[in-house]
Amino acid sequence: MSANDLRKANLVDCPRAGQQRQRFRWFLACTFASATGRNGYHIACAWILVAEGFGSAAVAVYFAIISVTELLASPLAGWISDRWDRRLLYILADGFRFAAILALGAILLVTDLRWAIWLSALIFATCDRIALTASQSMIPGVTAHMLLSTGNSIAFFLTQAGSLAAAALTGVLLHFSTPTQTFAVLSLAFALSVGFMLQVRQDRAIPLPEASGPAPRLTMQPHLLKLGAIYALLYTGGVLVSVIGPSFVFDELAGTAIDFGQLESAWSAGSIVGALLLIPLVRTARIPVLQLVSLGMTACSFAMLKVLDLPWSLLIFAVLGVLYNLGRVAIEVMLQSCVPVTALGRAKGALHSAGVLLGVILFGFVATIGDTMHPSSIFFAYAVVLAAGALTLGLWRVPDR
């Protein structure tokens, strides 16, 4: 049964629609809390590495560890999400993330923080991939009472709202407290996430993954390959902001942790707008067109960072956030529309693997050049990659599904 068939069946069942709305509210609360902890962890780790003098190379290694771990974990996360209870997987993954962040805060008191952060990235990335794959595979089920574009936009809105809260909170925490205290506060977000997900009750009318029996096949058709390429370019651009952002603020703009928090806040604020823009735009433009426009405008925005200082650079990061999330939500809607609910985990794992693979190549480049290249020059170089990718994908015609 496809996501659209499931939606048509549930839209006519009023009592079930009421249960769906309640389930969706708890799911959104869980999404917000988890996004707060997730983004806060990344911001804190990236800034601590830069502020302690390890530079962009150390941050690139950190994100490369996360990317390689996600590259290996994504297919497995997708497979188990299609075979086991997605809700239970999410609860276990966020429970481990809660414990991992608390442990990292304690370890930083007694050991080299660089190696502690790098090692924690292995555990965090594995749990993060399982949690995200499981939760995003649940979206068609918990939003069966509304349109896919609306449900995904609201879910991504809460994700970015959590990221915005994390950016504002983490910047202040890093400025006024110790890393250990910062991680202790951020761990509470994952404890809340687990509590909220426990309230998301499964509806047995929704097709759930089965632990036995053959799993439905997932064929990587041309339209899915093109979708994966678009996802890879957008995803890598988003992570590049996290990798280069700290050095861009610290070295090139001579900013503080508060300034870095403002940069992340601008990105998250833009992402919130991008998540909501799909709702009106999907009525006036085709989703594939929106994706290519997002790529092209993202390339232009990255290139402009070469010549702008504060506060104009914050505006550019807000625009980048808008374009990033508009493209990401559009991809999720297309993926959920053309892939069966019981195969969504593997489809999501395959797309994320494509994005992470490109990210690993980019992070290897950043780690190799170290601090010999200005952060704005790296942004400009990726703008050229995005422009070429957008042009190539615009010329790539795939047959109608």
Question: For residues 344 and 28, what is the distance between their CA atoms, to the nearest angstrom?
Answer: 19
pLDDT confidence band for 194 (50 / 70 / 90): very high
Average pLDDT over residues 38-45: 88
Average pLDDT of the chain is: 78
Q: What is the pLDDT of residues 9-40, one digit of tens each?
A: 444 444 556 677 788 888 889 999 999 999 89
One DSSP character per residue, 362-401 reads: HHHHHHHHTTSS-HHHHHHHHHHHHHHHHHHHHH------
Which of 37-51, 102-116, 278-292 has the lowest average pLDDT? 278-292
pLDDT confidence band for 243 (50 / 70 / 90): confident
pLDDT of the residue at 371: 63
Which of 47-51, 86-90, 169-173, 339-343 has the lowest average pLDDT? 339-343
Which of left, alpha, beta for 308 (phi over 0: left; psi -120 to 50: alpha)? beta
pLDDT confidence band for 191 (50 / 70 / 90): very high
The ranges assigned to domains in the chain are 3-201+218-395
DSSP letter for 153, please: H
Question: For residues 102 and 104, what is the distance between their CA atoms, to the nearest angstrom?
Answer: 5
pLDDT of the residue at 397: 66
Q: Who has greater pLDDT, 340 or 68? A: 68
Q: What is the pLDDT of residues 122-177, one digit of tens each?
A: 888 899 889 888 888 888 777 766 777 778 788 888 887 887 788 788 878 888 88
Q: What is the pLDDT of residues 333-355, one digit of tens each?
A: 888 777 777 777 777 777 777 77
Counts of helices then strands in the chain (DSSP H, E): 13, 0
Residue 255 confidence (pLDDT) above 80: no
Residue 188 confidence (pLDDT) above 90: yes
Q: What is the pTM of this model?
A: 0.72
Portion of the chain with pLDDT greater than 70, in percent: 84
Residue 315 confidence (pLDDT) above 90: no
Residue 207 confidence (pLDDT) above 50: no
pLDDT of the residue at 1: 45
Q: Who has greater pLDDT, 367 or 36? A: 36
Residue 4 confidence (pLDDT) above 70: no
- The one-letter amino acid code at 131 reads A
pLDDT of the residue at 147: 74
Q: Who has greater pLDDT, 228 or 8? A: 228
CATH architecture of 3-201+218-395: Up-down Bundle (1.20)
What are the distances in angstroms from CA 58 to CA 38, 174, 242, 360?
19, 18, 12, 14
pLDDT of the residue at 144: 65
pLDDT of the residue at 12: 44
Q: What is the pLDDT of residues 174-186, one digit of tens each?
A: 888 888 888 899 9
Residue 221 confidence (pLDDT) above 80: no
pLDDT confidence band for 193 (50 / 70 / 90): very high
Q: What is the largest CA-CA distance in the chain?
A: 62
23 contacts 204 by C-beta, under 8 angstroms:
no
Closest to 361 (Cα-Cα) out of 63, 53, 113? 63
pLDDT of the residue at 9: 47
Portion of the chain with pLDDT greater than 90, in percent: 7
Which class for 396: exposed (0-12), middle (13-18), buried (19 or more C-beta within 10 A)?
A: exposed
Question: For residues 338 and 341, what is the distance between their CA atoms, to the nearest angstrom?
Answer: 9
pLDDT of the residue at 395: 79
Question: For residues 46 and 250, what is the distance between their CA atoms, to the nearest angstrom?
Answer: 11
Q: Who has greater pLDDT, 193 or 154? A: 193
pLDDT of the residue at 93: 92
